[in-house]
């Protein structure tokens, strides 16, 4: 019979994020990174996981991807102060590369374990529209491991009484190998934010 590492409880229901031991990622992270934003924000943005700077500061989207996110929100006419920003996974998963800590994509079991927190955030903030930034976020929000990011882009998906819009993660627009791809990804992010803003205005609660 397979054994589970001591202290790892995917069925655990902690009250506070810093108590979470539902997967192993807390062991190598500096701290858990909660979402941030107003309680009843109509728009929720869900990324993949904290990065290096987010792990150190304990806040979501404060590194280079966060700067691009701010620029895209501003261009789309969306006030970040009215947006709730979070991640599908709350601890930084990384691997060493010399003195650097490089991002490592969370496993599906880690995404599933952390969905406990996404459910709590959705219930508490009750957004009208959720923008999933990248494939990991989309799989978490829709609770569907087979969903494809690019096939889901360009429209709004109804899911459990909310509208979900899929787009690229800001880090993709930063790190793609050529300028044309980076610009195309950035434009897609801006258009997704514009679409989300339009839907919020069109379908008030």
Residue 10 has pLDDT above 90, yes or no: no
* Gap between the Cα atoms of 142 and 163, Å rounded: 11
Q: Residue 42 has which token pair?
A: 């109509």
For 88-116, letters b (16+ CB in 10 Å) and e give bbbbbbbeeeeeebebeebeeebbbbbbb
What pLDDT band is residue 9 in, cutting at 50, 70 and 90? confident
Residue 205 has pLDDT above 90, yes or no: no
Q: What is the CATH number of domain 17-202?
A: 3.40.470.10
What pLDDT band is residue 202 in, cutting at 50, 70 and 90? confident
Mean pLDDT to the nearest integer, 161-188: 97
Residue 3 has pLDDT above 70, yes or no: no
> Which residues, 6+ apart, have CB-to-CB distance to 173 below 8 Å?
68, 182, 185, 186, 189
pLDDT given for residue 1 in this prediction: 35
pLDDT given for residue 184 in this prediction: 97
Every domain of the chain and the residues it spans: 17-202
SS3 127: coil
Neighbours of 10 (CB within 10 A): 14
pLDDT given for residue 4 in this prediction: 44
What pLDDT band is residue 2 in, cutting at 50, 70 and 90? very low
DSSP, res 25: G
């Amino acid at each position: 019979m397979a054994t589970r590492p001591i202290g790892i409880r995917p069925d655990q229901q902690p009250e506070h994020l810093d108590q979470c031991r539902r997967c192993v990622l807390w062991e190598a992270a500096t701290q858990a990174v909660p979402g941030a934003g107003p309680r009843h924000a109509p728009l929720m943005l869900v990324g993949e996981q904290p990065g290096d700077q987010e792990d150190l500061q304990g806040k979501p989207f404060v590194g280079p991807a966060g700067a691009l996110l701010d620029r895209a929100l501003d261009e789309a006419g969306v006030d970040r102060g009215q947006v709730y920003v979070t991640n599908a996974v709350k601890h930084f998963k990384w691997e060493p590369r010399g003195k650097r800590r490089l991002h490592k994509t969370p496993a599906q079991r880690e995404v599933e374990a952390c969905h406990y927190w996404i459910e709590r955030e959705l219930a508490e903030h009750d957004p009208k529209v959720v923008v999933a930034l990248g494939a990991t976020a989309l799989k978490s929000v829709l609770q569907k491991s087979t969903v494809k990011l690019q096939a889901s882009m360009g429209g709004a998906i109804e899911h459990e009484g909310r509208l979900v819009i899929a787009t690229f993660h800001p880090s993709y627009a930063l790190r793609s190998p050529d300028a044309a791809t980076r610009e195309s990804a950035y434009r897609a992010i801006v258009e997704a934010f514009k679409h989300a803003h339009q839907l919020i205005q069109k379908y008030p609660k």
